Amino acid sequence: MPAMNAFYAQSGGVTAVINATACGVIETARKHQNKIARVYAGRNGIIGALTEDMIDTDRESAAAIKALMHTPGGAFGSARYKLKGLEENRAEYERLIEVFKAHNIGYFFYNGGNDSMDTAHKVSQISKKMGFPVTCLGVPKTVDNDLPVTDNCPGFGSVAKYVAVSTQEAALDVASMATTSTKVFILEVMGRHAGWIAAAGGLAGKKEGDAPHIILFPEVPFKKRDFLKRVRQCVRDYGFCVVVVSEGARYANGKFLADQGTRDAFGHAQLGGVASVVATMVRDNLGLKYHYAIADYLQRSARHIASATDVKQAYAVGQAAVKFALAGKSAVMPVIKRTSDKPYRWKIESAPLGRIANKEKMLPARYITKDGFGITAAARRYLEPLIRGEDYPPYVNGLPKVAKLRNVAVKPKLKTRFVV
């Protein structure tokens, strides 16, 4: 079979290591140019395919591609853009296949979370129906760590490390001032519906009394009275209280503590601001001095403090996706399978996209302490290896050196334009 081109797109919220996955895809494809001629990347994700605005990664030097290993953000641009259901908007899928056909694209690597796996799955089905079968591979990425089947998701280990380290460091600050100043420190972390990132904050403490003293998980309905009672106890017993709160913390009726009222393309509520909601409760009810921080984008772009395990896994899933595609597998995603906790060992397998698409993996009850405010030993066993190891980027003049791509556009071939 003559070589075909590949299309690679980043999707959804980026991570500190999503570009390491891009590096894994591109470097591996470059070793098999008899089968994959060139890798085109979507400018701003899937939108780049629809609008025929693709980047020819072949125009980048080997060194520039290698530098993706230590560059956070999405090197080609990512998008929160959901292709509608086939019935609602068949035109979008048809356009995608039309572009793939025009550019001889026989491989599609979609690097994203649950929604993206659904898209990759649908593209694989419809491309067959349209008589231009495309080999479609989902490539996992999400700081939220909520994809099923895989033991963990690339992107999570680094955000987990950032949150654990920040909790530990900020706790030392609060502890040193608590007698005369701040008594409560609140760190807000991402994770949407799943409490994996919040749980990682728990790694900062080793024994009773260590910070964080309270973790607020989306999986545990928030009860104001219990929360305030615990804050008061901590301040009485330890002199201060450190709280890690997930942006997805919610009341028993399902309402988020911090629903901003806006929705993204996937219909997800825009979250953020829960730290201030919680801080206001502390001030109004307990009258304690507080500080709060919203880790926000800092946590998912903190490549300077990435987990070495995460970087390795991010590369490995990209590499495996290409290998699976070349071996004739389609509509699958490389998953990380843990084979041992101590020593931590893992390998890559493949799983059908149908088992992964649109499903969210929550923090299991056995990872949360009975009082609902902490993590168990089982959670520690799971989390600890994922944050292990340092993989510092090179520095120039005190700042991390990042990849500078040329991002040269592939010449459009179609006459029709598509507006998204």
Phi/psi of residue 363, each to 5°? -65, 125
Q: Verify binding: residue 77, ligand F6P, rule CB under 6 A.
A: no
**83-88, long-range: CB < 8 A, 24+ apart:** 83/46, 83/119, 83/122, 86/122, 86/126
Q: What is the CB-side half-sphere exposure of residue 277 using CA atoms within 13 A?
A: 21
Stated as kind and residue range, the H or E segment containing 381 is: helix 377-383
Q: Verify binding: residue 190, ligand F6P, rule CB under 6 A.
A: yes
Q: Tell me how far apart the alpha carbons of residues 271 and 255 are, in angstroms, rounded to a whole number.
A: 11
Beta carbon nearer to ligand F6P, 159 or 282: 159
Q: Verify binding: residue 218, ligand F6P, rule CB under 6 A.
A: no
Instruction: Give me 165's structure tokens.
Output: 């380290």
Q: Verify binding: residue 59, ligand F6P, rule CB under 6 A.
A: no
Peptide bond into 343 cis (omega under 30): yes
Least Å distance, CB 14 to ligand F6P, is 8
Q: Which of residues 300-329 bind ligand F6P (CB under 6 A)?
A: 300
Count of residues that interact with ligand F6P, criterion CB under 6 A: 13
Residues 6+ apart with CB under 8 A from 268: 192
Least Å distance, CB 148 to ligand F6P, is 16
Q: Verify binding: residue 112, ligand F6P, rule CB under 6 A.
A: no
Phi/psi of residue 127, each to 5°? -65, -35
* Sole window of 136-144, 180-188, 198-206, 345-353 interacting with ligand F6P (rule: CB under 6 A): 136-144
Which residue type occupies 37? A
Least Å distance, CB 333 to ligand F6P, is 17
Q: Verify binding: residue 360, ligand F6P, rule CB under 6 A.
A: no
Q: Verify binding: residue 18, ligand F6P, rule CB under 6 A.
A: no
Q: Verify binding: residue 118, ligand F6P, rule CB under 6 A.
A: no
Q: Give the DSSP per-residue string, 335-393.
A: EEEEEETTTTEEEEEEEEGGGTTT---PPPGGGB-TTSSSB-HHHHHHHGGGG--B-PP
Q: Tell me how far apart the alpha carbons of residues 292 and 204 are, in angstroms, rounded to a whole number.
A: 17
Q: Tell me how far apart the alpha carbons of residues 311 and 99 are, in angstroms, rounded to a whole number.
A: 32
Q: Verify binding: residue 191, ligand F6P, rule CB under 6 A.
A: yes
Q: What angle do CA 262, 73, 387 make, to 5 degrees?
A: 100
Least Å distance, CB 362 to ligand F6P, is 14
SS3 of residue 22 by DSSP: helix
Least Å distance, CB 269 to ligand F6P, is 9
Q: Verify binding: residue 13, ligand F6P, rule CB under 6 A.
A: yes
Q: Tell me how far apart the alpha carbons of residues 304 and 241 are, in angstroms, rounded to a whole number.
A: 28
Which residue's CB comes closest to ligand F6P?
13
Determine which one of 144, 146, 310, 391 is catalytic.
Answer: 144
Least Å distance, CB 81 to ligand F6P, is 11
**144 a catalytic residue:** yes
Q: Which of residues 242-301 bind ligand F6P (CB under 6 A)?
A: 247, 264, 271, 300
Beta carbon nearer to ligand F6P, 6 or 120: 120
Which residue type occupies 279? A
Neighbours of 43 (CB within 10 A): 20
* Sole window of 41-49, 53-61, 138-146, 285-293 interacting with ligand F6P (rule: CB under 6 A): 138-146
Q: Verify binding: residue 122, ligand F6P, rule CB under 6 A.
A: no
Least Å distance, CB 347 to ligand F6P, is 26
Contacting positions for ligand F6P (CB under 6 A) = 12-13, 80, 142-144, 190-192, 247, 264, 271, 300
Active site residues: 144
